[in-house]
Structure 1
Amino acid sequence: MVSNIILFGGSGKVARHITRLLTAEGHKVHSIIRNQDQKPDIVSLGGNPILQSIEQASVSDLAATITQVQATTVIWAAGAGAGNPERTQAVDNEGAIKSMDATAQAGVKRYVIVSAVDVRDRENRPEPEWYNDADRRRSEGVWRAIGVYMWAKLAADRSLVVENGRRGLEYTIVRPGGLSNDPGKGKVAAGNVHLDTMISREDVAAIVVECLKNDGTKGLAIDCVGGDTPIVDAIAEVANGKIDAFAGRY
C-alpha cells in the first residue's frame, strides 16, 4: 500500500536516506525544508520539497501542510544539533512538539520521530539496568558535551508519550546511537543496547522505514546501534517483545 508521507527536516542526512528508500518503494514523500537551495537535492531523491520554517510556523500552519498533501504518515527527522541552544530549543523541543500537535490536528495517526539513545531523566529516574561501566562513561560524556540537545529531545519525547491521551497518535520513537556516514550494513542491534557502537545514518533510515511496516512498533521507543542482526529481524524482536527503551526513564 502506497503511503503519503510528510517528512520534517527533509534536508538532513538521515532524512535524505529515508526519502530515497521510501520513494524507491513507491511511496510519496513530501519533504519539509527551509532553504530554497535544497530543492534540487530533494527532487533528485524522488521527494517533493515544500518550503516551510518549522521555527516560524504555528501548529495550524503545519497541520494545514499535512492536510494539503493528504498525508497518512508523519516522520520527524529535523534537528538543530547542539551548536546553538536557542535553535536547539526551538527545533528539537518546541518544533517537534508542534509537529505532534499538528499531526493530531490534521487527523493523522501514524507518527515516527527520530530521537537519540540515552535520552532520559538522568536526575530522577534509574539508569537502564543493562548499562555497564563503558555505557556510564559514554552517557556522562555525551550529556556533558551536548546536554542542551539531550534535554530538548527528552522534553519532546516525554510530551509525545505523556500527552498522547489527547493526541491519540500511533507513534514510534527511533533512538539511534552515535551516527556515522558509513554505508549501511543492513544489520544492527536494537532493544536493550550498549552505547559504544556507532550506527550508520543509512541504517537508521532503514530502521525508520521498517518501523512503518511493522505495526508492533507502535507505542515503542526503540534503541538501535551497530550490530549483526538483519534490520527486519532486529525490529521484529523488539516489536514482539514490546521492548520500550524509554519506559520508566522520563
Structure 2
Amino acid sequence: MEKILVAGATGTTGKKVINLLKDTDHYTPVAMVRNESQEKQFKDQGVETVWGDLTKDVSNTTKGIHKVIFAAGSGGKDVHNVDQEGAKRLIDASKKDRIEKFVMLSSMGADNPQGELKEYLQAKQNADQYLDISGLTFSIVRPGALNNNEGLGKIKLQHKLNEQGEIPRWDVARTLVKSLDTNVAKNQAFEILTGETNIEEAVQAFQVV
C-alpha cells in the first residue's frame, strides 16, 4: 500500500480526497493536521495523521510517504504564506524524502494571472513553477470554478481548455486521486471542467503533443 500525504485534508476538497483514498485497494491516506481536534476527526475514521503547519515547518511530514496531494488553500486569507510558500515548503520536504509523485491542485488561470483573483492566481502560478523545476515527478491539476454539486464522474480535460466553467469538488478530488499514477500526466499541467468523458479514461488518455 502506498502512503499518500494529503495537505489540506481538513478542507472541503481535501476531505473528499481522504474518503476516496480510503476506498482504494492500493493507497493509504495520511492527513496533515495542525491541532488535536483535527487529529481526532481523522483518527475517529481510522485515518493516519501527521502534524504539520504549511505556514511554518513541514519537513517532518513526508517521512515514510510515497506520494503527495497538495489540496490546501487559505481561502484568500493568506495566499502568499499558504498557497504559495506553503506549497514550496512541502515541495522541499518531498524532495528531501524522495517522494515518488507530487499532485498539485492549482486553478484555471494560474498560467496567466489577471482579474480580481490575480493575487491568488499569481501565488498558484509561483507554486506551480516551483514544482515544475523541483526535479520531482508531478502532475498539476487546474480546475475551473469549484461547486458543491454531486459529482458526475465525467470531465473535459485538456492542457488548455480556452473556456470558462465549473466542476464539482467530488470530480476534482477523483481527478487528483487518479493522477497519483506515476505514468499519468507525468510532469504536465492540465485543465478540467465538467464534461462527457469518464475521469479515469480522460486522465489516462491525456498526452501533451
TM-score normalised by L of structure 2: 0.91
Change (3 A) 1:110 1:9: same
2:108 corresponds in structure 1 to 117
Say if 1:80 and 1:92, in contact at 8 Å, map to a contact too. Answer: yes
2:149 corresponds in structure 1 to 182
Of 85, 88, 102, 2:93 maps to 102
Say if 1:176 and 1:223, in contact at 8 Å, map to a contact too. Answer: yes
Of 76, 88, 91, 2:70 maps to 76
SS in structure 2 at match of 1:213: coil
SS in structure 2 at match of 1:104: helix
SS in structure 2 at match of 1:66: coil
SS in structure 2 at match of 1:215: coil
User: Which has the larger helix fraction?
Assistant: 1
2:192 corresponds in structure 1 to 224
Instruction: Map residues 180-219 of structure 1 onto 2, 5 A cutoff.
Output: 180-191=147-158, 192-213=160-181, 215-219=183-187
In 2, the alpha carbon distance for the partners of 1:40 and 1:114 equals 25
Instruction: Map residues 2-13 of structure 1 onto 2, 5 A cutoff.
Output: 2-13=1-12
Q: Give unmatched runs, 5+ long, in structure 1.
A: 123-142, 244-250
Highest CA radius of gyration, 1 or 2? 1
In 1, the alpha carbon distance for the partners of 2:75 and 2:16 equals 18
Instruction: Map residues 78-93 of structure 1 onto 2, 5 A cutoff.
Output: 78-82=72-76, 84=77, 87-93=78-84
Change (3 A) 1:197 1:88: same
In 2, the alpha carbon distance for the partners of 1:25 and 1:46 equals 14
Query: Over residues 91-121 of structure 1, what are the superposed CA-to-partner deviations in whole Å (9 max), with x where a residue is unaligned?
Result: 1111101111110011223111100012124
Change (3 A) 1:30 1:148: same
The percentage of aligned residue pairs carrying the same residue is 27
Change (3 A) 1:106 1:15: same
Q: Give unmatched runs, 5+ long, in structure 2.
A: none
TM-score normalised by L of structure 1: 0.77
* Paired letter, 1:242: V
In 1, the alpha carbon distance for the partners of 2:190 and 2:44 equals 30
Instruction: Map residues 153-192 of structure 1 onto 2, 5 A cutoff.
Output: 153-161=124-132, 163-164=133-134, 168-191=135-158, 192=160
User: Which has the larger strand fraction?
Assistant: 2
Shift of 1:56: 1.7
How many residue pairs are counted as aligned between the two chains? 207
Shift of 1:242: 2.0
Say if 1:5 and 1:30, in contact at 8 Å, map to a contact too. Answer: yes
SS in structure 1 at match of 2:180: helix
Say if 2:138 and 2:186, in contact at 8 Å, map to a contact too. Answer: yes
1:247 corresponds in structure 2 to none
Change (3 A) 1:214 1:66: closer
In 2, the alpha carbon distance for the partners of 1:29 and 1:172 equals 18
Query: Over residues 106-164 of structure 1, what are the superposed CA-to-partner deviations in whole Å (9 max), with x where a residue is unaligned?
Result: 12231111000121245xxxxxxxxxxxxxxxxxxxx4322111110011111111x23
* Paired letter, 2:179: C
Shift of 1:65: 2.4
